[in-house]
Amino acid sequence: MQQIVVEARSLQHSYGGVQAVRGMDIGVGQGEMIGLIGPNGAGKSTVIECISGCVRGFSGQILLYGVDISKWSTFKIARAGLLRTFQTPRLFRRMSVLSNLMLAAEQGTVEGMGSTLLGKWRRRDAERLSQCLDVLDRFGLRAIADNAASDLSGGQERLVELCRILLSKPKVVLLDEPFAGVSPENRHRLAEAIGELRASGSTLLMVEHRLEWVERLCDRVVVMAQGREIAAGAMDEIRANEEVVLSYLGTKSHPLPSTTEGKGA
C-alpha cells in the first residue's frame, strides 16, 4: 500500500466570521501529484496555508510521514522538506536570480553547513554554482542570472521560484496556483520544472484553476466547494459530475421554510 506522505485530517478553519474549510480530509501518496480544484472561496488555498503552517488556529491534524506537524513553525516544516509556492513568488527582490538560487542550493547539500574548512567550502561553492547555472540553463533563464529578482516578469518569477525549490530537493511541494500570471510561452517551462520535481521523487499537491494543466500533470483530482470535498477522481469524471459543474455557478440561499411546504433549510 502506498505510503501517505502528507495528510490533512478533519481540517477546519475560519477567517473572521467566514468558515473557509469545514472538515476536509486529504492525503497524498509517495510520489503522487494531486490537483485541488474548485470555485472561488472553496477553501483550496486555505488548505495549503494550513498544511504549510502559514496560518494558525485551525482545528484538525496535519501529518507529514505520520508525524503531527500541526503546531510546527513554518521554518521547521520547511526544514523537514515540505516547501510551497505563493500566489506572488517570494523571492529576495534585491538579490540576483543566481543568488536566490545559491541560497536554496546551500540548504540542499548533504554535508552540514558547519563545515568551514576553506578548501572544502570553495569546492562546495563551485559545485553549488554549477548546479544553479545548470538549472538556469535548463529553463532558459541563464540570460537573466544576474538580474535583480525585482526585475522579472511574472512568469520568470514563478520559474525562479520553482528552480529554487528544485535545488532544495524537497520531499513535498505545495503549489498554489502556479500558472497564474505566467505567459503562454513560460507555461511549458513551468510544467517541465514541475515534471522534474516529480522525477526526482517529490510528492506534490497543486491548487490550480487551469484545468488543462491539472489534467496533464496530476494523477488524481480533488474538487472542493464551500469548504469541503465534493468529488474526486479523474478529470473526465469530474467534468461529467453535475454537482461539480453547478458548484462553479455559486449558491443560492435556502428558501425560508414555510409552514405549508414543511421543507427544512
Please give the residue ranges that form the binding site for another protein (CB under 8 A): 16-18, 39-41, 153-154, 180-181, 209-212, 239, 242, 244-246, 248-254
Q: Shortest approach of another protein to residue 249 CB, angstroms? A: 4
Q: Shortest approach of another protein to residue 34 CB, angstroms? A: 18
| CB proximity list for 78: less than 8 A, separation 6 or greater | none
Q: Shortest approach of another protein to residue 48 CB, angstroms? A: 16
Between residues 155 and 170, which has the closer beta carbon with respect to another protein? 155
Q: Which of 186, 30, 168, 53 is nearest to 108 (CA)?
A: 168
- Give the span between the Cα atoms of 207 and 201, in whole angstroms: 19
Q: Amino acid identity, residue 15?
A: Y
Q: Shortest approach of another protein to residue 155 CB, angstroms? A: 10
Q: Amino acid identity, residue 82?
A: L
- Cell numbers describing residue 103: 541560497
Between residues 27 and 154, which has the closer beta carbon with respect to another protein? 154
Between residues 138 and 209, which has the closer beta carbon with respect to another protein? 209
Using alpha carbons, list the distances in angstroms from residue 217 to 120, 142, 202, 212, 250.
40, 26, 13, 9, 27
Between residues 72 and 179, which has the closer beta carbon with respect to another protein? 179
Residue 153 CA from chain centroid, whole number: 20
